[in-house]
Amino acid sequence: MQCLLEIAKFEDTGEPLARLHVPVEPDIDLKRGWVRIGKPRLRHRLIIVESAFSGIMPAVGGRLGLLVLALAILCRADSLEDAVRVLAKRVAPRLAPTEVPRITSRNLSSAGNAELQRARAVMEQALRRRTPRNAQPVDITLTFSENVRGYLLVAQIGPAVEMVPYRPTSQPQHTTLALQKRLLWEQDEPLLDVAVAEDVLITLDTAKLVVYRFASGKYEPVRSSTISAPALRDPRGRLEIDAGSVAVHLPGIDCRGAWKPDLDISCQADSGPFFLAGHTVRFTPARNTLESNGGSPFFSIADPQDAGKPVVLIAFASGRLDLIDSDWRPAGSFEGWGGDLASVAGPGCEAGRFVLATRAEANPASDTLSAVQVSARRLVDLNESVEFPGNITALWPTTGGATVIVHDATSGHYAAYIVTVDCRR
């Protein structure tokens, strides 16, 4: 956050008394006519207030008048999340104790709808409060606008309007990439994961492990083994194959054995470890979350890079993504995403550079998978995505892309897709 203030005495019609570059948003008392930045108070009447975003605004209202100006133009935020939080801070005092915000949004800028959705998610979280008795919903319209200087976030609550400029300091350079999806398999039973080796397809669902062989233009079942997945509301499972071996990881159950020449596996009551994004993880018993080294449960993990240095993205079911730097220190947090992540690489792409991430979609009938990149500790949307005819229930990294499991609530079918990435276009 950077602010530029010009302050003059009300008798003065010439140059401002002071120009102040401050790293925080100042507290301005329009009734008393002073600016407070931290503890000191500069008790000069406000005649001119200038920001790098808005230019110089003349005073109005006569000799004793004060500049009546939306405080939003005083400061510029270099992060979308920072801008939204500043906006929410200004909107919050306008809500009565019994009022609950109901946010709608519209995009009048050249930015993608993904930015607007992210801003709305951060705003909803910042204004979230315990629902009181006899709660009264209050409509807040969040608008993403734009002018020649940059973007402008506008919040309207009743007749009141608050504004915050948003102009990123730099635009990260990134490689153009393309995502492609290919339908691999469909079935009626709840599908957890799939794996492909040679001419064989292996599927894992909540009841069994099945080996299919490709013949006469389609996959035909050749062997199966019963596996009882724990009864969870949103079941998850991971299937791994290597040469002739197979491993099945479920919350509280671990199965290992061989898939060729015959399918032969045995299971034990334990959440067995497996590797994901360079980390040893395991399912939380009786839950669909993951754990690593005794830490807090999370939903998925990815290992992208930031300026050539390895970083970690951790996703939670709430839609929050946490960024951990190469020294394993918190480096950022991002709202408005889904719970699934997968690091991807492909032809022309730098290994580990990109991440596929699900979004918190408003449409309950379909989900979108987006390509993102970490740059300067920020999550950059690469404006490349694929949409699926249903909800994404699993996302696992695979060679050249990711395996995506989708549930179509309308038909009840489950489908497995392979999504690949190509950076050569």
- Helix or strand or coil: residue 120? helix
Tell me: do 264 and 366 sit in the same domain.
Answer: yes
Q: Flag whether 171 is in a domain.
A: no
Residue 294 pairs with which residues in a beta bridge? none
Residues 288 and 415 reside in one and the same domain: yes
Note whether 150 and 225 are same-domain residues. Answer: no
Indicate the residue among 166, 191, 210 that finishes a domain.
166
**Sign of CA pseudo-dihedral 101, 106, 111, 113:** positive
Q: Are residues 149 and 239 in the same domain?
A: no
Q: Which of 102, 77, 42 is nearest to 153 (CA)?
A: 77
On whether both 260 and 327 belong to a single domain, the answer is yes
Domain boundary among 18, 46, 72: 72
Q: Let me know if 120 is exposed, middle or buried by CB neighbors in 10 A (0-12, 13-18, 19+).
A: buried
Q: Are residues 256 and 365 in the same domain?
A: yes
184 exposure class (CB count in 10 Å sphere: 0-12, 13-18, 19+): middle
Residue 173 located in a structural domain: no
Residue 66, token pair as written in the block: 């004060």
CA–CA separation, 321 vs 355, rounded Å?
12
DSSP single-letter state for residue 77:
B
Work out whether strand 191-197 and strand 200-205 pair parallel, antiparallel, or are unpaired: antiparallel
Residue 192 falls within a domain, yes or no?
A: yes
* pLDDT in the model for residue 99: 87
Residue 131 confidence (pLDDT): 67
> CA-CA distance, 129 to 74, in Å (whole number)?
28
Residue 195 confidence (pLDDT): 95
- What number of H helices and E strands is found in the chain? 2, 37
The sign of the torsion formed by the CA atoms of 39, 41, 42, 46 equals positive
Give me the number of domains the chain comprises.
3
Establish if 195 belongs to a structural domain. Answer: yes
- Residue 376, domain extent: 178-422
Q: Does one domain contain both 262 and 381?
A: yes
For 72, which DSSP code?
Answer: G
45 belongs to a structural domain: yes
CB 324 within 8 A of CB 317: no
Same domain (yes/no): 367, 250: yes
Q: Name 125's Cβ contacts closer than 8 Å, sequence gap at least 6.
A: 335
- Residue 182 placed within a domain: yes
Strands 191-197 and 178-187: unpaired
* Residue reference for tokens 């754990």: 291
170 phi and psi, to 5 degrees?
-155, 155
Contact 388, 406 (CB under 8 A): yes
CATH for 223 = 2.130.10.10
pLDDT of res. 124? 85
Whether residues 109 and 189 fall in one domain: no
Report whether 90 contacts 77 (CB < 8 A). no
pLDDT digit string (tens) for the chain, length 425 residues: 444 444 443 333 344 444 444 444 445 444 444 444 444 433 333 333 333 323 333 333 333 333 333 333 345 555 788 888 889 999 999 998 888 888 888 888 766 666 777 788 888 888 887 767 777 889 999 998 876 667 888 999 988 889 888 765 544 444 577 899 999 999 999 999 999 988 999 999 999 999 999 988 899 999 999 998 888 888 999 999 988 999 999 999 999 999 998 999 999 998 999 999 889 999 999 999 999 887 889 999 999 888 778 899 999 988 899 999 877 788 889 988 888 999 988 777 765 578 999 987 656 778 999 999 888 888 888 888 899 999 999 999 988 789 999 999 889 999 999 999 887 76
Task: Show the tokens assigned to 400.
Answer: 């050249």
Q: Are residues 269 and 390 in the same domain?
A: yes
118 secondary structure, DSSP code? H
Tell me: cis bond preceding 235? Omega within 30 of 0 counts.
no
Give Cα separations from 160 to 90, 92, 93 (angstroms): 11, 12, 12
Alpha-carbon radius of gyration of the chain: 27
User: In one letter, which amino acid is 242?
Assistant: D
Q: Is residue 102 part of a domain?
A: yes
Report yes or no: 260 and 244 within 8 Å, Cβ to Cβ. Answer: yes
Place of tokens 């930031």: 306
Show which of 146, 166, 186 is a domain's final residue. 166
Claim to verify: residue 387 and residue 281 sit in the same structural domain: yes
Q: What is d(CA 108, CA 357) in angstroms, rounded to the nearest whole number?
A: 25
| Domain contains 288 | yes
- Total length of the chain: 425
Are residues 405 and 277 part of one domain? yes
